[in-house]
Chain A
Amino acid sequence: MPTASLTEYLFFSGLLFAIGLSGVIIRRNIIVIFMCLELMLAAASLTLVAFTRANTGDTNLPDYDGQMLVFFIITVAAAEVAVGLAIIVALYRARKTTSTDDLTALKN
């Protein structure tokens, strides 16, 4: 059975990215917004891996440079989530809310 083509992988990861984007726009809870950002990041990594598999080149192996990039993305995302959630906890401690409707200190 043939495998799916590059186009299909790109399309589905693009759809996942769009879903994440809509979550960032629609949702009002800062933690859920953060989760949707992670979803967009994961969709982008899927695109990268699809391209590494498509570009086999002369070596007949997947292009591992792209997978290295995904490796670093995952590492940085882990660090980012740790710091981001610490900031959210500090914010909740100060304001007792995680709704972006109530977090308007920088407005005006």
Chain B
Amino acid sequence: MPSPLFYIFAILMLAGGVCVVSLKNPVSSAMGMILSFVGIAALLIGLNAYFVGTLQVLVYAGAIMVLFIFIIMLLDLKKEENKTTKYSTIAAGVFVPLLFVLIMVPVLNSVDKDFTKLDLKAAEASLPDTISKYDEEAGTKDSKIRTSLKAGTLPDVNLIGQSLFTEYNFPLQVVGVLLLVSTVGCVALSKKLHGGSAPATDTRMAKTLAKSEDIPKVLPRD
């Protein structure tokens, strides 16, 4: 019987997910999403992934969800709440994920692995020599990773930083370029197209236009 904390946070995570899908108001969905992300972050921390867990709270629950809620508030989606979903859509939405879960069950029966306790002293001994080590003759001191491992704590951030700036240095720089491109893309997308607002300003008019054949009229002119 695993720790009850695991089940508490796993159920918190799933409950948040169900809230996202079932609640009509998009703001409530976003709140359920935050709940779910907090549950995931707790599970990640339970897996000794402290850095990724913190990142999950900071980036997902902090930055991304704030962006979502900001856009939901900005677009004023209240008037679209009272739409009913087709019965067939709900049936498909239950059936397809259920199939996925059914496929998953036999796969999980074949996985049988318990987590081994981390032996940090042995981990320190097996670290590569490139990580600075205490040596009286050469005058080198133990690196932060080695001192933490000797003290019996997992230097999660240091180890991630170590591989991020050595092994994964090139992908890191590529991600930097990607972030720059997405920033520029956002600015370009949010720029008002010249000629003021789009032709269709009324919701009903936009809907009728979207249904009719002459679609180009609805798109903003450039």
Residues of A within 8 A of B (CB): 1-12, 14-23, 25-29, 31-32, 34-36, 38-39, 42-43, 45-46, 49-50, 52-54, 56, 58-62, 64-65, 67-68, 70-72, 74-83, 85-90, 92-99, 101-105
Contact = CB atoms under 8 A, between A and B. Distances in A.
Contacts of B10: 8, 12
Interface secondary structure of A, over-half rule: helix
B151 interface: no
B177 to A, nearest CB: 10
Contacts of B72: 31
A68 B165 CA distance: 11
Contacts of A14: 100-101, 104, 108
B108 A62 contact: no
A46 B13 CA distance: 11
9 contacts: A8-B10, A9-B47, A31-B72, A46-B44, A64-B159, A64-B160, A81-B64, A85-B71, A102-B207
Interface of B: 1-3, 6, 10, 13-14, 17-18, 20-21, 26, 29-30, 33, 36-37, 40, 43-44, 46-49, 51-52, 55-56, 59-60, 63-64, 67-68, 71-72, 74-75, 77, 80, 83, 85, 89-90, 92-94, 96-98, 100-101, 104, 108, 111-116, 118-120, 122-123, 126-127, 154, 159-160, 163-164, 167-168, 171, 175, 178-179, 181-183, 185-186, 189-190, 197-198, 200-203, 206-207, 210-211, 215, 218-220
Nearest to A14: B104
Nearest to B203: A96
Nearest to B190: A86
Nearest to B79: A97
Interface pairs A-B: 9 shortest CB-CB: A26-B93, A18-B97, A4-B2, A79-B182, A25-B93, A19-B17, A60-B123, A23-B21, A86-B189
Nearest to B206: A96
A3 B3 contact: yes
